[in-house]
Amino acid sequence: MEEILNFLKSLEANNNREWFEQNRNLYLKTKEQFLRITELLINEIRSFDRQIPYLNPKGCMFRIFRDVRFSKDKRPYKTNYGSYITKGGRKGGNPGYYLHIQPGGCFLGGGIYMPPPEKLKAIRQHIFDNTAEFIEILEADSFKKNFTLYAEDKLKTAPKGFPKDFEHIELLRYKSYSPLMNFSELKLSESNIIDFIVTKFRLMVPFNEFLYEAIETVAED
């Protein structure tokens, strides 16, 4: 993965179309490397998560090209590679596993990021109805020492439809239910990097299964 990281570092310093076209071969080479990594992770995850079918890696990997139409930031390219491995691919809207490689910002993620309103409400309701089970998942030593929940977009008050005096209202204020774990880019040069990623993803399974139980009620409705 070092070659991928080095390409992204160079892109970060030269985020313009002229440089990108001059180095398109390196982009295509590192993109294929990341797709192979994604495919390897898909196969590993399928061994312990029954929800994950065979997936085309291209359907999991995010494009490097930025949509700048409505952004003040006109840099044309992202400076990261990321793949979201979940049923239906990156657009499936299901609980999954996310690998993000970026200079100075590598991390692993899981769960669901910014689910649509009906799924978000179902997740909150499932937590409200099964609070002890959810807390047990969050407080498990293996989970707690590795992950934190994404909280940058967290509500400041109780979500609509839930009592403000609910003892664990904090658990309902998230807009995303996504465990995150940062790791050093130095880790990418280690020979066991895939085993490291797979081991951490495996720890997310109970969390993702809980979310699946929640959103399945949406599908049934």
At 82, give phi and psi (nearest 5°). Answer: -145, 145
Answer yes or no: is pLDDT of 36 > 90: yes
- The burial of 160, by beta-carbon neighbours within 10 Å (0-12 exposed, 13-18 middle, 19 or more buried), is given as exposed
Provide the strand spans (E) within the chain: 81-86, 96-101, 107-111, 148-149, 179-182
- The Cβ of residue 80 has, within 10 Å, a number of other Cβ atoms equal to 18
Q: Going from the N-terminus, what domains does the chain have, and what CATH number goes with each?
A: 2-220 (3.30.930)
Tokens representing 144 are 């707690």
Taking only the tens place, the pLDDT of each residue in 127-171 is 999 999 999 999 999 999 999 999 988 999 999 999 999 999 999
Could you tell me which residues come within 8 angstroms of residue 180 by beta carbon, excluding any fewer than 6 positions away?
107, 108, 109, 147, 148, 149, 150
Q: How much is the pTM?
A: 0.94
Among residues 125, 119, 115, the alpha carbon closest in space to that of 153 is found at: 115
Answer yes or no: is pLDDT of 69 > 70: yes
Query: What's the CA angle centered on 148, arms 35 and 194, to 5 degrees?
Result: 30
Taking only the tens place, the pLDDT of each residue in 95-129 is 999 999 999 999 999 999 999 999 999 999 999 99
Taking only the tens place, the pLDDT of each residue in 185-209 is 999 999 999 999 999 999 999 999 9
Taking only the tens place, the pLDDT of each residue in 39-50 is 999 999 999 999
106 and 184 in contact (C-beta within 8 Å)? yes
Q: Report the alpha-carbon distance of residue 127 to residue 172 in Å, rounded.
A: 7
Q: How many helices (H) and strands (E) does the chain have?
A: 8, 5
Q: What is the mean pLDDT of residues 30-53?
A: 96
How confident is the model at residue 219, as a pLDDT?
54
Q: What percent of the chain has pLDDT over 90?
A: 88
Mean pLDDT of the chain: 94
How confident is the model at residue 158, as a pLDDT?
93
Q: Which residue has the tokens 């700048």?
A: 68
H-state helical runs in 60-173: 117-129, 131-139, 141-144
11 and 20 in contact (C-beta within 8 Å)? yes
Answer yes or no: is pLDDT of 221 > 50: no
Q: Report the alpha-carbon distance of residue 179 to residue 110 in Å, rounded.
A: 5
> Which of 9-13, 136-140, 175-179, 214-218 has the weakest average pLDDT?
214-218
